[in-house]
A and B are shown apart, each in its own frame.
Chain A
């Protein structure tokens, strides 16, 4: 579904440090949940944004659904994001002036009857049906992230890119989020999660870890017990 080869993106932080990624090659196929793990500041978000066509790398190539993302025009990349990729962010990034349902519908490239039905079904499934008219400011962190997840899934994407999706959630909400992403994977979608914690590991079909201690980082394949297991290790949320 998505692969990157020799991906590098280095930038300077406001305090003058070098940050980003170097020589990263990884991928996620349909039916996979790939977890990329590393400490804060190791370039995980940079990697995710580069994979999602939001941040042009210094070098390397990203192929998404057979399309060379950065060889495509900005408009094509936008269309690709609108139709193929769902993003979930740690900070939720809900549109503050839209109610829950409006935020979910905002994820659709075009609001159609089918899209609305899918959005309503997701709200029901994620326990937000009673909050569909609530504004983001009145939601708990868990509700916000579930809304963001519903928005990412409403367009029926082929790839879900999640940046610390449970970083601000309690374990119960984190479990809801990962279980839904796992279901998306089992239904044939590809999921790529970047996280500094271990809470995604039980759901991972493959795991990558940051290498080295300094930035910019690279990533190497990690051997994880239970990898490839469709749910046997989810007990950590129980």
Chain B
């Protein structure tokens, strides 16, 4: 009889041991799938929430007077417009920075009152990434108005306004934010450069940091070091509260996965190993018989490791299905903002499909070795 048929028959003959083994591995796999699905969802949710919170890095000219910067809300100096593309081209930039958005802003008179004209260039993301833009983009000849500006000027979407001789069509009126955004007039970078008479210049590059390190690990030092190598004429400021919130949320998700994964491996491995040990004990006479029939160590080893592999495959299938179901069922409640993006991770499941049998075989290696080392004469002798 072929090895696989023997293994399947033996599993059917001892359904309790086999069932408990499959359940144990299945529970471990399910937990890992759920943790993976939810950690991915948490990451996605964090990205979305933080993206909605806005940029947390401002890269401004090195010689900017920080007092004036905070007083005005923007740098008085400027950088060349290609600073963003040069930064993007630098080695390792996207390890530290992302969503590089060249920006030009200045207070200027808009129909008799001061408003903060903010021109936004196209965001540059890491190679191969297709990230949604942070906030919004503004097309040429269009404007998005802060709530206070729109109210003051009596403007609504579809209306138009003239700034420094340039007519802009109102595309959107932003919800009241309760901060300086309420007095902004967002335009495209080119329009802002024309309005402010600063062609080819930007006042800063807005960005988001990718390090996700809390302040105790000095992320700013690392960001400055990275920036100094590529763009020495600039300095970087970090909006620490936003950056720390993002980092903490991501680290919390990663920390949970980092704890759950080894714990799951240890518990599932011990469970599988103990059940395999009981199986070997129960089959001592059978092992002796196979030896008497001429089976070598390799065949006995394969009998037990093959059993472990079959159990691992069943556990992977059961756990993969259960974990995916649980993740998809409970995920939307935990992460409502990005719930639509929750989906089975087929690549992860495929990986578990071969890793679980290998893990089961590893967990059963000691009991299988005990089976091989067993002296058949002890179980076969009648006197």
Contact = CB atoms under 8 A, between A and B. Distances in A.
Contact of A109 (B294, B297, B376): B294
B383 A45 contact: yes
Interface in B179-199: none
Given A78-B294, A95-B286, A97-B9, A90 B376 contact: no
Interface in B363-383: 375-377, 380-383
A140 interface: no
A98 B8 CA distance: 11
Contact of A164 (B295, B377, B382): B382
A41 interface: yes
B177 interface: no
A74 B292 contact: no
Contacts of B295: 78, 82
B1 interface: yes
A226 interface: no
B381 A49 contact: yes
B255 interface: no
A40 interface: yes
A45 B12 contact: no
A109 B377 CA distance: 20
A54 interface: yes
A107 interface: yes
Q: Interface centre among B1, B6, B292, B295, by most A CB within 10 Å?
A: B292
Given A45-B380, A46-B383, A105-B1, A82 B293 contact: yes
Nearest to A99: B9
A79 interface: yes
Nearest to A93: B289
B383 A44 contact: yes
B382 A52 contact: no
Interface string B273-304: 00000000000011011011111110000000
Contacts of B381: 45-46, 49, 163
A62 B291 CA distance: 18
Nearest to A50: B377
Contacts of B63: none
A93 B297 CA distance: 19
Counting contact residues on chain A (CB < 8 A from B), the size range is 35 or more
Contacts of A102: 1, 9
A98 B1 contact: yes
A74 B380 contact: no
Contacts of A163: 380-382
B13 interface: yes
Contacts of A41: 383
Interface in B1-58: 1, 6, 9-10, 12-14
B292 A52 contact: yes
A90 B383 CA distance: 10
B152 to A, nearest CB: 86
Given A54-B376, A54-B377, A97-B9, A89 B382 contact: yes
B382 A97 contact: no
B380 A49 contact: yes
Contacts of A52: 292
A184 interface: no
Contacts of A55: 375, 377
A225 to B, nearest CB: 26
A95 B289 contact: yes
A223 interface: no
A96 interface: yes
A89 B12 CA distance: 26
Interface string A201-227: 000000000000000000000000000
A85 to B, nearest CB: 8
A72 interface: no
Interface of A: 19, 40-46, 49, 52, 54-55, 74-75, 78-83, 87, 89-91, 93, 95-98, 102, 105-107, 109, 111, 163-164, 167
25 contacts: A45-B382, A46-B383, A49-B377, A55-B377, A74-B297, A78-B294, A80-B294, A81-B293, A81-B294, A87-B380, A89-B380, A91-B285, A93-B285, A93-B286, A95-B286, A95-B289, A96-B286, A97-B9, A97-B14, A102-B1, A106-B293, A107-B293, A111-B1, A163-B381, A163-B382
